[in-house]
Amino acid sequence: MEKTKDKNALQVTVEGAIITAFAMALNYLPHTTGISAVEFSYGLVPLIIFAFRRGIVPATLSGLTWGILDLILRGIGDGSVLNPLQGFLEYFIAFALVGLAGTGYTKIQSDLRSNKSIMLSAILFGSLGIVSKYFIHFIAGGYYWGSYAPKGMNPWVYSLVVNGGSAIANIILVIVVLLLLSRSMKTLIIPKN
């Protein structure tokens, strides 16, 4: 019994490490939109699928690790870390909050097992993770990124446009990929053990 539990914990950890590495690798693909800081974040897709597969805790830890990696490997060098509090908010907290997609874990697991469509729940809970992340970027944007706003534009309006735009872009991305993968959902989300 204990052995099975340990083996499962190890498997979840290894899956989380693979998802984190994959999400981080995807950050090296072109993902800006040309509209200010509006960005696609492709790694949200595997992380959200992982949240539906393993729940809120593993997904939050993976999101947090992805954020720390992104801060070290890209954020600091890119000049996207403006001060310690902003860095903490936008890389530790924002990325970890994507794990909130895992609040859909129980429903999505049970719907998949009874062969019901999970599309609506997947979009709803996936959007919760994405909106939570970009809400933090919106707050940070209003406080810290105002000097990047076009002349005369209120920093909070600017931040809402940029980060709200990113949230919408990523929700659309997740919907499109989930639709493309819809026939593989069960294999991806229901663990074999």
Helix boundaries (H) for 39-190: 44-54, 56-70, 76-78, 84-87, 94-97, 105-113, 119-144, 155-180, 185-189
CB of 162 to ligand 218, least distance (A): 4
| Beta carbon nearer to ligand 218, 90 or 111 | 90
Residue whose CB is nearest to ligand 218 in the complex, by number: 141
| Beta carbon nearer to ligand 218, 12 or 23 | 23
| Beta carbon nearer to ligand 218, 92 or 175 | 92
DSSP tag of 98: G
| Beta carbon nearer to ligand 218, 6 or 78 | 78
Q: How many CA atoms lie within 13 A of 1 on its CB side?
A: 0
User: Measuring CA to CA, which residue among 133, 130, 135, 126 is closest to residue 181?
Assistant: 126
| Beta carbon nearer to ligand 218, 4 or 77 | 77
Q: If DSSP codes are grouped into helix, strand and coil, which group holds residue 39?
A: strand
Geometric angle at alpha carbon 17, from 39 and 179, rounded to 5°: 50
Chain residues that interact with ligand 218, rule: CB under 6 A: 37, 39, 70, 80, 90, 137, 140-141, 145, 148, 158-159, 162-163
Q: Please report how the helices 119-144 and 44-54 are oriented relative to each other, as an axis angle in degrees rounded to 10.
A: 130
CA distance 167 to 96: 15
